[in-house]
A and B are shown apart, each in its own frame.
Chain A
Amino acid sequence: MSRDELVKLGSKLDGVELVEYPDPWPVKGTRAEKRAERMVAFWFALSGLAGLAFVVAFIWWPAKYVAPDEDGHLMYSLYTPVIGLTLGVAILAVGIGVLNYTRKFVPHEIAVQERHDGGSNELDKATILANLADAGNRSTISRRPMIKRSLAFGGGVLGLALTALPLGSLLRNPHAQSDNKDGLIHTPWQHTKEGEKVFLRRATGTDEVSLVRPEDMDAGAMDTVFPYREGDTAHDWTKMLLRGDSPVMLIRLRPADAARVIKHEGQEDFNYGDFYAYTKICSHVGCPTSLYEQRTNRILCPCHQSQFDALQYAKPVFGPATRKLAQLPIAVDEETGYFISTGDFIEPIGPAYWERKS
């Protein structure tokens, strides 16, 4: 059988009848056909050229940051548009080319297929059931309990293993990464030995050690500080900056506001004069809550709009947070005049976890 006959036979067996199967270009070599061919070729070629331009721009176009007032800023700022544009044109042109080819050169046939009614007939249903039951019976599996049980064992264990694979990646020990087993309760502010001085260090964007003295801050000021111990290296500092539980907001209240402060029981001596230090980690889900408003004395968390009152032990006054921000006990080191913390937070910082009591 020739190919045409085979095609026809296939359609017939499937109950498909081709009503119309026109050749898109019945007369060969017309100008319209040539034009359509050129059009498709043009899009594919354009795609190739744009792709080539993308590769060239991706490799050689200046991508390194150039400040706005320096030479070459325009070229730098064109980097993203250029690679986006070239790659975009390359993909788009391929798409348009394929579309055009399909529309112009693939025949648009009209085929009619008989619709079958749903469901097999009763005879088929009865025979297939009998067939399956017969096969099961002839395999003698029901008479061989040892094979049955070992198969159940093997299959069951394999099933368990396949379940454990995706589930296991969801199980994590939250304490595995911490330095000690109470890692969720303690922070890097914890004193590791007797009489240790943990200074409040501000981040300056350099490795220079910048500690805070009371006179450094005006009334109505806030600074973000991290723990620093004498002898800490630049590496230790990077670690402190990366740790989620180390940032602390050091706030100097305005004197008139400081007179209205209400302290929490057990935290009466945690402040130093008008200076109060609260953790930056929100007690709701742990966002950095550092939007300090110096006149309303509110600390706002940008994620879910929880607000804490800096005049009342940072208790929540608005939003979803239910716990106060933990307060860090601070004092001024008599030898050096710098702020130090006199101990760790007395409660866990940040959001809830299973073992949390408060």
Chain B
Amino acid sequence: MTTQPKKRRGRTKLRRRVAGLLALGIALMGVGALYSVLVPEPQTAQAQQDPVMVREGAKIYNNTCISCHGANLEGVKDRGPSLIGVGEASVYFQTSTGRMPAVAQSAQIPEKPRVLSPQEVDAVSAYVQANGGGVEMPEEKGAALRGEDPARGGELFRFNCASCHNFTGRGGALSSGKEAPALDGVAEEEMYAAMLSGPQNMPRFSERQLSPEEKKDIIAYVKSVTDGNNNPGGSPIGGLGPQSEGFIAFVVGIAALLGITLWIGAKH
């Protein structure tokens, strides 16, 4: 009689402990499961590139970019802006067109022969993308970035781009010594990267503002009017529209007529 309660007490103690442990375990697992279900994916930039490439990019960055953009992409006052959030599209555009690394501070960093090789450009892009995040390059390359409908691209170009780059991509002046460059010889990837990242004073065009298809149509249009594709008359005379054409027709035409008149008169 006396042992029975004791025994039962011992059993219940063990059972309580086991049950307590089990409850704790279940509770912990439940919390863990709930946590993983409820807590959203972290919004921080994630390194998804090849780590070897990122390391390679870090090396190049520390050799060529660090003095103006800082050790942690944070920028250096009065020298260069922060690169956090600019993304690989921006790095791709700036370095593959030779604008970066820059030689000197000026109203606008000019285009020049590229300093970094394509592999180095990819590596630095990967490094900046891995550490700062931002807009990424499209998957397609080259002619795959030309859309189906250059006519619609032309409409979009005139609405969004022509005010600075001229109707046929001849470029034009901006304020205080800056300029919108001519679009001759600009690669498809560079155009796409420029639209995405808004280099220097160019506005940015996100994928929601101009969809990838619209961007590709714009590229198709630009390609159809640049690189000598738009001079059915033999010479585009600057491609600036009626002003230059009228001026040259007037000057050359009047001079020729004067010459002929003088020639006719001189013969007699």
Instruction: Determine whether A103 belongs to the interface, using a CB cutoff of 8 Å to chain B.
Output: yes
Given contacts A80-B232, A204-B214, contact A295 B201 (CB under 8 A): yes
Instruction: Determine whether A39 belongs to the interface, using a CB cutoff of 8 Å to chain B.
Output: no
B154 surroundings in chain A (CB, below 8 A):
205
Partner of B202, one of A103, A203, A206, A294: A294
Complex Cα spacing A192 to B201, Å: 38
User: Could you tell me if B198 and A218 are in contact, using CB atoms closer than 8 angstroms?
Assistant: yes
Complex Cα spacing A300 to B229, Å: 29
Partner of B201, one of A206, A294, A307: A294
Complex Cα spacing A67 to B229, Å: 9
User: Could you tell me if B155 and A221 are in contact, using CB atoms closer than 8 angstroms?
Assistant: no
A205 surroundings in chain B (CB, below 8 A):
151-156, 159, 217
Minimum C-beta distance from B19 to chain A (A): 51
- Tell me how many residues of B have a C-beta within 8 Å of chain A: 40
User: Could you tell me if B232 and A220 are in contact, using CB atoms closer than 8 angstroms?
Assistant: no
Minimum C-beta distance from A20 to chain B (A): 13
Minimum C-beta distance from B151 to chain A (A): 8
Given contacts A68-B224, A224-B159, contact A218 B204 (CB under 8 A): yes
Complex Cα spacing A215 to B178, Å: 29
- Scan B187-203; emit 1 where CB is below 8 A from any A CB, else 0: 00000000000101111
Interface residues of A in 253-302 (CB under 8 A from B): 288, 290-296, 298, 300, 302
Binds B, one of A71-79, A120-128, A149-157, A162-170: A71-79
User: Could you tell me if B172 and A80 are in contact, using CB atoms closer than 8 angstroms?
Assistant: no
Complex Cα spacing A222 to B161, Å: 11
Instruction: Determine whether B160 belongs to the interface, using a CB cutoff of 8 Å to chain A.
Output: yes
Complex Cα spacing A14 to B159, Å: 71
User: Could you tell me if A300 and B174 are in contact, using CB atoms closer than 8 angstroms?
Assistant: yes
Partner of A294, one of B198, B217, B224: B198
User: Could you tell me if B232 and A81 are in contact, using CB atoms closer than 8 angstroms?
Assistant: yes
A318 surroundings in chain B (CB, below 8 A):
175
Q: Specify which of A205, A215, A298 lies most central, judged by the most chain B CB atoms within 10 Å of its CB.
A: A205
Complex Cα spacing A143 to B19, Å: 142
- Scan B138-177; emit 1 where CB is below 8 A from any A CB, else 0: 0000000000001111111001100110000000101110
The 28 sampled A-B contact pairs (Cβ below 8 Å) are A67-B150, A68-B224, A68-B229, A77-B232, A80-B232, A81-B233, A81-B234, A103-B267, A202-B159, A203-B159, A204-B155, A204-B214, A205-B151, A205-B152, A213-B208, A216-B209, A220-B203, A221-B205, A221-B209, A223-B209, A224-B159, A290-B163, A293-B174, A293-B178, A294-B204, A298-B175, A300-B174, A300-B175
Q: Which residues of A pack against B, CB within 8 Å?
A: 67-68, 76-81, 84, 99, 103, 108, 202-206, 213, 215-224, 288, 290-296, 298, 300, 302, 305, 307, 318
Smallest CB-CB A-B distances: 3 pairs: A205-B155, A293-B201, A216-B208
Q: Which residues of B pack against A, CB within 8 Å?
A: 135, 150-156, 159-160, 163-164, 172, 174-176, 178, 180, 198, 200-206, 208-209, 214, 217, 223-224, 229, 231-234, 264, 267-268
